[in-house]
Amino acid sequence: MRLRNLPVLAVLAGLAVGMTAGSGGATPLASPPAHQFIVYLPLVTMQQPRIRLAALYYDSETSGETDEAFRLWNVGDAALDLAGYRVGDGQRVVTFPPLTLAPGTGLWCTGDAMVFARSFGFSPDCEYGVDSDPEVPNLSGQALRFGNSGGQALLFNRAGQLADAVVYESGDAGQPGWQGPAVEPYTPSNTFPAEGQILYRKFDWRTGQLWPDSDRRADWAQDPADLYNGQRVQYPGWDLERFVRPASIAASGVLTAALGPDNLYAVVSQTMAGAQQSIRLASFTFEHVALAELLAAKASNGVAVSILLEGAPAGGISDQQRYVTQLIEAAGGQVWFMVNDRNDAKDRYSNQHAKYVVIDERLLLVSSENFNPDSMPDDDKSDGTLGRRGTALVSDDPALVSHACAVFDADLDPLHHADLFRWRAEDPRYGAPPAGFIPSTASGGSGYQLIHAQPLRAAGPFTAEFVQSPETSLLPAAEGGLLGMVARAGPGDTVLVQQLYERVSWGGAAATPESAPNPRLLAYIAAARRGATVRIMLDSFFDPSANAQTAAWLNLLAQAEQLDLAARLANPAGRGLHNKMVLVQAGGTGWVHVGSLNGSEASAKINRELAVQVQSNAVRDYLATAFWQDWLLAGGSR
């Protein structure tokens, strides 16, 4: 049913009654003064629905699926007593006891509170299947069972009237309170499973409140027709509400920009070496022996070292990483993995792919690079080096540091999330290397001549913004984020993209740029159509075939439309272009995006990723100098 944010009021009204000709052709009476027939109606509040079904978790990954759940949201402007409200699945109905829901807030109700808490990482507000938690209020009635292949969730008010409905998959699309096709889970590829997916409503990015209701699937975030607010997913354990609100931070202090392989190791090692109390590090992989020895020394001296790694990186966990993690654990540090094969748990994200370090809750380093020797060679660079092109930013701004701490602590929270497994020597997958294993300490080489031997240190103030997956990587341009940064570029401006890869299309194997466009590429193309100079550099070392397809498509489009846009493949530093960097110069102002996000749909929507965007002419110019040298080396021209 359609719901309103505010009740409809019947206001004071006047009703004038006139006399008309009677039957049988009788002569009409003279009309008396109209004021004699004015009737004053009292002020009446028309009862309109003030609550919606906001989310539905119907196909649980838990055995028995007792953690199926629904969410209600109070869209009114006053607290609502839910006593007597009912929710049904089309066959069974549960009834709420006295339970107050504050305006602009929601509550979760599930079949089993204890199982739900294990899946979601927090306790629900009510349960209806069993009384598993005495602290959680119980609903009365027969336990709901939402069909995995389709059904409906129905909300009834105290009078038994239908207040809201959602129909999903093969449910009855003719259900009163619903119009058009049912909501379907968003499953463009195997990376986005239907099982375990939470259907949830679209919301206002700035307020966090639900969109107005139209009784259609267009209200829901899985909406296949909406490229920016739809085509989204959610799974149990995500901290979506906590981190989904975009924020522009007025930052201060010193901002350091590092370029890999030129000076990245020096910046990373010096940043870590300054730790006095704590080091929080997140990465996809960690294979750098010298950095591990540094962290082990810190841990042995009482610094709290906590590391969070992906449990299933591409290619598996190497013996080199086993050695590194053993070294840190033996010194008193803690190494954790986000896993899906321990503790009877599915990992929250497709990959823990973020790469950042927080030092003493006073410094934040965000990088495009994993903590590996190819990305951060520690050789003597006086004769050059070899490595991967990448970047990092370091900031001492308290707001930026605080946000990164919050993300890390939410992700590495074994008390509330079962998908975390701490290193154990005896574990065959995450434990120690084979007996007698000798790690490699080689890194670098020669052949690549440094562009920037030293990092850049720029004083604030500066504007900054976090861009992170799965929450804010695809904000609509009007709300900020990467798309918003690129949208600043117009006639005479410049957009420079240096990226490990950009997929020519998203979706499944049969997708095309027309059927499943990559919104990032659309943003770059739109900037060129507005008159900006756009250059896109993709890696030629790791996946040249897919990147060549993207570059060819972009160049053909640019030629057809006569755009100042060009794409090339490159490997400027010898061991791959691993960067994830976007530089914008708009109206004489420089913007920089640096972090872990690649150009795939999974990276934007289902991985844990972290990037920062800053407004800094100095940093933009420093990194743009390297970009243009790489571009010229790849055969491009300015």
pLDDT tens by residue, 544-564: 999 999 999 999 999 999 999
pLDDT tens by residue, 110-136: 999 999 999 999 999 999 999 999 999
With cut-offs at 50, 70 and 90, classify the pLDDT of residue 246: confident
One-letter amino acid of 168: Y
- Structural tokens at position 545: 């075939």
- Look at residue 160 in the predicted model and tell me its pLDDT: 96
| CATH class for the region spanning 466-633 | alpha beta
Q: What is the mean pLDDT of residues 194-217?
A: 96
Percentage of residues in the chain having pLDDT higher than 90: 90
Q: Where are the beta strands (DSSP E) in 261-340?
A: 278-283, 304-310, 334-338
Whole-number CA gyration radius for the chain: 29
Q: How far apart are CA 558 and CA 530, in angstroms?
A: 13
Q: Which residues contact 52 (CB under 8 A, 6 or more apart)?
A: 3, 72, 73, 75, 155, 164, 201, 210, 213
Calculate the average pLDDT of the chain: 92
- Look at residue 48 in the predicted model and tell me its pLDDT: 54
pLDDT tens by residue, 610-619: 999 999 999 9
pLDDT at 404 over 90: yes
Q: What is the mean pLDDT of residues 281-310?
A: 98
pLDDT tens by residue, 479-523: 999 999 999 999 999 999 999 999 999 998 899 999 999 999 999
- Look at residue 42 in the predicted model and tell me its pLDDT: 42
- Look at residue 27 in the predicted model and tell me its pLDDT: 32
pLDDT at 464 over 50: yes
pLDDT tens by residue, 43-71: 433 445 699 999 999 999 998 999 999 99
Residues across the chain = 638
With cut-offs at 50, 70 and 90, classify the pLDDT of residue 4: very low
CB atoms within 10 A of CB 224: 15
Each residue of 183-214: b (16+ CB within 10 Å) or e? bbbbebeebbbeebbbbbbbbebeeeebeebe
pLDDT at 12 over 80: no
Range(s) of the chain covered by CATH 2.60.40.1260? 50-236
Range(s) of the chain covered by CATH 3.30.870.10? 248-422, 466-633
Q: What is the mean pLDDT of residues 462-470?
A: 97
Architecture per CATH, 50-236 = Sandwich (2.60)
- Look at residue 25 in the predicted model and tell me its pLDDT: 36
- Look at residue 49 in the predicted model and tell me its pLDDT: 66
- Look at residue 21 in the predicted model and tell me its pLDDT: 34
In contact, 536 and 497? CB cutoff 8 Å: yes
pLDDT tens by residue, 38-49: 444 444 334 456
pLDDT tens by residue, 570-590: 999 999 999 999 999 999 999
Domain 248-422 adopts which CATH fold?
Endonuclease; Chain A (3.30.870)
pLDDT at 568 over 80: yes
Q: Tell me which of 336 and 19 has the higher pLDDT.
A: 336
Percentage of residues in the chain having pLDDT higher than 70: 92
pLDDT tens by residue, 340-361: 998 888 889 999 999 999 999 9
Full-model pTM: 0.91
SS (H, E, C) 198-216: CEEECECCCCCCECCCCCC
pLDDT at 393 over 70: yes
pLDDT at 8 over 70: no
- Look at residue 43 in the predicted model and tell me its pLDDT: 40
Q: How far apart are CA 554 and CA 518, in angstroms?
A: 12
Write the CA distances from 600 to 234, 336, 465, 521, 569, integer angstroms: 17, 26, 21, 11, 17
pLDDT at 3 over 90: no
Q: What is the mean pLDDT of residues 423-438?
A: 97
Write the CA distances from 494 to 211, 530, 620, integer angstroms: 35, 11, 11
Q: What is the mean pLDDT of residues 244-261?
A: 93
Q: Tell me which of 413 and 247 has the higher pLDDT.
A: 413
